[in-house]
Amino acid sequence: DIVMTQSPDSLAVSLGARATINCKSSQSVLYSSNNKNYFAWYQHKPGQPPKVLISWASTRESGVPDRFSGSGSGTDFTLTISGLQAEDVAVYYCQQYYSTPWTFGQGTKVEIK
């Protein structure tokens, strides 16, 4: 199974500041035949289902504010929240869907400083 490792485990950021979360996979999730990274970022708030923010490593889902951006390729990925808002307080997970089973990072809790 592909192991996903996120850092940090938690993060406290001032309102309006930048938050950066990293994720490393134990093997590449870049599919060479189509040059796509089979990688996503999810936001999970209490009492709600996880919501996909970014798919294919850098494609923002419909309706997701543009302060959320994803970057990286192969084994190293980053989620950036540019200008943290109060409603962004949540746990963020990275996920690979390159191979079965889907695997997730351990989660990064983002709070307001």
Output the smallest distance, CB 52 to another protein, in A: 5
Number of residues counted as binding another protein (CB under 8 A):
23
Distances from the Cα of 57 to the Cα of 3, 73, 110, angstroms = 16, 7, 20
Name which of residues 91 to 110 contact another protein (CB under 8 A).
93, 95, 97, 100-107
Name which of residues 9 to 68 contact another protein (CB under 8 A).
38, 40, 42, 44, 48-52, 55-56, 61
Q: Which is nearer to another protein, 36 or 67 (CB)?
A: 36
Task: Identify which of 61, 55, 110 has the alpha carbon closest to the alpha carbon of residue 86.
Answer: 110
Cα–Cα distance, 36 to 13 (Å, whole number): 31
Q: Which is nearer to another protein, 28 or 83 (CB)?
A: 28
67 exposure class (CB count in 10 Å sphere: 0-12, 13-18, 19+)? middle
3-state DSSP call for residue 87? helix
- Residues in contact with another protein by CB under 8 A are 38, 40, 42, 44, 48-52, 55-56, 61, 93, 95, 97, 100-107
